[in-house]
């Protein structure tokens, strides 16, 4: 029983990811409505949207190739797999032992690569424009992301996420400037990677400014539902990754039910706070001009590099 328990837990974590991600997305939307003085549709609205989309028929363009039909499943699959790697509730995960954080980032990259391909596959102008913009951002965001992650790995002497969580949560508590810089860089990159306000507007349908929306403009029915769901999960996973790498206190080290209960409670608490932080950033900032984005991500790269340097210089 005790050998099979981690596998059950990994499965449980994926189920939590699947069903908590829309609630988290709904929480962010609700908060945003409160901040902007609008009435809300409730935390469960993303579920209704997804159900509606799953019941609709698919409209495919005549020249859509297999890439276009395959992409929603590739995106959804890679994001679900990422959910099995990130320690959300417990550190003792069989999948986490097989893949480290570099593999995790490449999973997200696969999802992004296929989305960009699908955007271009259909041959509309908006799809190509969105894909080109997405790749421009990715080419700057991904080195910065790796740099930030490497800083945390340097501190913890490992690239395995479970190991990193254990070192930070149970090691001696030290004020580390390197981790503070890495957190700052991670926050900036997470905004860019999940398509939030200073970089991309998740709610926009204005053709000139959309990036992620531009690529998925031609999707409908269950394809769109899968992509939207994957987008919500990506937001949830970036929040969970940030929590795991920088604020892991409370996560279950051993797989017994009291520890898991505490872990679930602290996860809910941290995600609630993360949502408030995200909405404060999104409400406080305006979307920046596209050509300013490389500068924004360049400063994220700078923070990550400074974090790595200050690990060598100051610690």
Partner 1 sequence: MSISLAAQINSILAALILLTAFGLLVQRRIYGLLHLFAWQGLFLSISTAVVGFVAEKHHLYISSLITLVLKVIVLPYILHVLIMRLKIHREIETVVNVPITMLIGIALVIFSYSLTSPIRELSTHVTKSTIAVALATVLLGLLMMITRRHAVTQIIGFLSMENGLFFAATSATYGMPLVVELGVGLDILIAAFIFGIFFFHINTAFDSLDVEQMARLKEED
Those residues whose C-beta lies under 8 Å from the C-beta of residue 78, and which sit 6 or more positions away, are 107, 108, 110, 111
Is 94 a binding residue for partner 1 by CB under 8 A? The answer is: no
Which residue bears the tokens 């276009």? 68
Maximum Cα–Cα distance for the chain, whole Å? 60
Is 253 a binding residue for partner 1 by CB under 8 A? The answer is: no
The only residue of 76, 113, 181, 186 in contact with partner 1, by rule CB under 8 A: 181
The only residue of 137, 211, 227, 306 in contact with partner 1, by rule CB under 8 A: 306
> Please, what is the angle between helix 5-35 and helix 66-85, to 10°?
110
Burial 193-212 (b: 16+ CB within 10 A, else e): bbbbbbbbbbebeeeeebbb
Contacting range for partner 1; rule: CB under 8 A; set: 8-16, 47-55, 78-86, 303-311: 303-311
Alpha-carbon span 223 to 68, nearest angstrom: 9
Q: DSSP for 277-305?
A: HHHHHHHHSPPPPGGGHHHHHHHHHHHHH
The only residue of 167, 180, 259, 262 in contact with partner 1, by rule CB under 8 A: 180
**Least CB distance to partner 1 at residue 204 (A):** 27
Is 309 a binding residue for partner 1 by CB under 8 A? The answer is: yes
Contacting range for partner 1; rule: CB under 8 A; set: 58-66, 243-251, 278-286, 294-302: 294-302
- Residue closer to partner 1 (CB basis): 230 or 306: 306
- Residue closer to partner 1 (CB basis): 181 or 229: 181
- Residue closer to partner 1 (CB basis): 160 or 305: 305
The only residue of 125, 175, 208, 286 in contact with partner 1, by rule CB under 8 A: 175
């Amino acid at each position: 029983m005790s050998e099979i328990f981690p596998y059950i837990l990994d499965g449980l974590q994926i189920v939590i990811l699947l069903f908590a991600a829309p609630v988290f997305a709904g929480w962010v939307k609700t908060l945003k409505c409160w901040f902007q003085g609008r009435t809300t549709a409730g935390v469960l609205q993303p579920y209704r949207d997804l159900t509606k989309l799953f019941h609709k028929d698919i409209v495919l363009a005549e020249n859509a190739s297999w890439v276009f039909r395959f992409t929603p499943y590739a995106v959804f699959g890679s994001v679900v797999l990422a959910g099995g790697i990130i320690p959300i509730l417990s550190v003792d995960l069989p999948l986490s032992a097989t893949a480290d954080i570099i593999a995790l980032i490449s999973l997200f990259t696969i999802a992004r690569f296929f989305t960009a391909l699908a955007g271009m596959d259909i041959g509309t102008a908006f799809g190509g424009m969105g894909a080109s913009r997405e790749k421009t951002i990715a080419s700057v965001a991904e080195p910065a992301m790796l740099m930030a992650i490497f800083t945390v790995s340097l501190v913890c002497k490992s690239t395995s996420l479970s190991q990193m969580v254990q070192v930070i949560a149970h090691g001696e508590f030290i004020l580390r400037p390197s981790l503070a810089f890495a957190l700052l860089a991670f926050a900036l990159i997470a905004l860019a990677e999940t398509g939030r306000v200073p970089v991309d507007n998740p709610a926009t349908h204005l053709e000139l400014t959309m990036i992620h929306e531009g690529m998925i403009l031609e999707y409908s029915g269950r394809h769109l539902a899968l992509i939207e769901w994957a987008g919500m999960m990506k937001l949830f996973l970036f929040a969970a990754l940030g929590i795991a790498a920088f604020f892991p206190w409370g996560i279950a080290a051993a797989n017994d039910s009291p520890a898991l209960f505490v872990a679930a409670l602290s996860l809910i608490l941290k995600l609630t706070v993360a949502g408030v932080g995200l909405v404060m950033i999104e409400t406080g900032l305006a979307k920046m001009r596209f050509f300013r984005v490389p500068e924004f991500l360049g400063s994220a790269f700078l923070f990550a590099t400074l974090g790595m340097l200050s690990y060598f210089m100051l610690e």
